[in-house]
Each structure stands twice: as structure tokens, then as C-alpha cells.
Structure 1
């Protein structure tokens, strides 16, 4: 199977599907994911027990199989962002971004000179031709941002005007908390905030998505213009599969 050009799909705002790996360290999960229509793997560093040693083999397997990978980092910190890119990640997802100045910091950490101050080194630079790697690096490494605070929405247009953001993902739980309506995803205030994010992304022609659960939720927001679908995780697959099996056993007399 040919490799996925994630940057091109996001740029064209095609339907893009990702799921999260937050606990599994077995590298064999990557070929399993590669078998179906996954566009990239999202690795969780913000709310998980992972450290960089857990991700090294997983990111290398993604690289070998041409399956794009994005790491959600804990915070805007050079030692995290640079490290995961050097280990072969296609891009980074920045949580809790609120201000244009924060995005400027991220750009500086992700991009090589003269755009930014990213250093050259690590596994990713040791594979293939260095000259070609340097020439294509800034356009191949992706920055995705997560909108999780109400105060971030007025800043979003300015952020997207940089042309550096490949995709915007709404964090529904944190956004609802910031609005004072935790977990009320049908609340008019929440719906208006998300629609504002979609509108700004549409005007700037930037891919937009959200963490989505059940099928009806996915279909609804896809119909509202979201093209970046993030759903499921390794733990949810395990829990759902286990519960289904237990239900089957309980139904047998």
C-alpha cells in the first residue's frame, strides 16, 4: 500500500481519519492499523504514562510503513517538540493553545532556519538524503493545534493567517468546561463556539475537526463541515471489545 500524503489531504480538506494510541507499546499495532483506512496515528503524551522510550519504536514503525504519525505533546516545550520530530513523527498536536504568541513559539520550535530555530539531528535526519531532507523539512512537518478554551477562538483567525497550521482540532471536554457547561455538548453556547471554529477554518481553508464518539456525532459534525475525524483509542477498543464479549457470555444460558 502506498504511503499517505497527509499534508496534501489536509491542504485539500479531504476526509481525514485518525485514532489515538495512549497505552499500547507493542509496535505490532502499527501494521494492524495500516491495514484499514487510517490516515495517521495520533500518539498521546498529554494524558498518558508514555515517555519518549515508549514512542521511539512506534514512531519508527510508522516511518517504515509510511503511515503518518502525530504526537500530542504535553506542552509548548522545545525538548518535547523537537525530540518527537527527530524520532520521526510527521507532526505535532499542540493542546490548549490560546494566543497567537504561543503559535509563534511553536513555529520557532518546529521549523528549520530561516523560518524557525529547529536544530538538525536525531534519527529522522539520519534516514535518506540529508540535502533533500533539509529542503523539504519545513513543508513536510505538520503543526496541528487544539482549541480547548473560549478565549482561543478570537485569536484563531490570526493564527491561521500564518499559513503554518495544517489542521485545527476542537477539544470538546475542555472547551465545554471553559464555557461553564461541562459535558453539555448539545448546549447552544457550545454549538455556537464550535460553529465559530468551523467558520474561521472554512474562511481560511484549513482542515478542521474534533474528538468525536458515536456514529451519530461523527455524521453530524461531518455534515457541518468538519473533515478531520478523530475517534477512538486503543483503550476504548479494548474496553468496548471486552464488554461486547462479556455481554455475549452473559446471554448464553
Structure 2
């Protein structure tokens, strides 16, 4: 993926890592369109972020994914990069009555949302030069945080789907890139003040540097996430899982 000269669509780009990437990509010389389900955040972006376009979309709504994707393709026909950023992370306890509802919401947003976006964009992206579809998994796809079981499972599934779809799309010229964040200081799971989480600006700095240095990369792995990603290969899996089990 080239670092500039793209038109980038970021569902889930109204806060956190998504909005941070939108700003960095805009500043790098890209046209950026963000989408989200919260009207107040979209209004703030329209007011405070010149150079970033915004559009309403709840990726949990399959019909909206189709209609809004078509609208973006019509209004911004040069779109050649899609970053499927929308996601939720919630504590879960299988022993409680609310577990199933939380699990289903997590699967709908974190797994079905990106799959629906893939379906809506794959054909269009094949017609665009320098096209890329960017997925977002997590270091917890490699070693789970037991307090968020469905989140971990959806991110493991995103990793697997990314690997498979990358092979399928290789002949078309559409690049599939997987972002693999560690814990980052955002409002996801209330980590904005967590000293053990990576500062957002540091994550964005390293991610943008890796994208620029490795335009053909399959995965974007910042150094902080390798503690999780490499745990099994390095024989540390059981110890890391035990550590994560004691956090909550």
C-alpha cells in the first residue's frame, strides 16, 4: 500500500485508532472518508477536521453496509483503500445472563461487519489501481484475554480470514493488510488512561512508519504487540495466558 495519493474509506473512523489513522493519512496526502454510527462524532469531525469527509454508517446493519458502500463508491469513485476499523470490546462472563447478548453484538460488529464490507467492496476495488483492503485484528488473537472471550475469538477469526482472502485476491491486485494492534490508550474497554497500554500517538507513529517502509507488507506489527503475537512460537504462551488471566 502506498502511503499517499489514495482515497481511503474508514468505517469505524470516528474515534480512537480509526480517527487517528484518518488524521495521519489525510496529513500524508490522501483523501479520507470516515464512517460511523454516532451522529455527534460525525458532526465534530465535519466541524473540526478539514480534509476528512464523513458519512453515517452502522456496520451492524447489513443493508446499510451495502447502500452506504454504493454511495461512497459513487461520491468518491477514486476510493482504492478500505480500512475495516469498526469494533467493540466488552467484558464478558459466561456465567451471567447477559453473556449471550454481549457475545452476539461482538460477533456482529467485529466479524460480520468486516465480512460484509469485503463483500460490498471486493468487486469495486479490483477496478482501482493500488487497491488495498485493511483488516484490524489484535494481539489478543494470539493469546486471549479471558475477560473478553468473544472479542478474542472475533479477532482470531479476522486474522484467519485475512490470510485466506489475501491468497484469493492476490491475482486481482487487491492487497490485503492486517493491522495487529496491542492494547492502545483509547476508550475501547476504557483503556485511555491505562499506563500498561501503548500511547495512541506512539502506535500511530510506528504504524505509519511501517506502512511507508513496507508497502508490500501482509501484516503491520508494532514492536509492542510481539509480546503476544510471538508468545507461542517462543514457548511463552502459558505464561502470557496466566498473566492475562490475572488482570481481571
The interval holding the TM-score normalised by the smaller chain is: 0.3 to 0.5
* Structure-2-length-normalised TM-score: 0.38
* Structure-1-length-normalised TM-score: 0.37
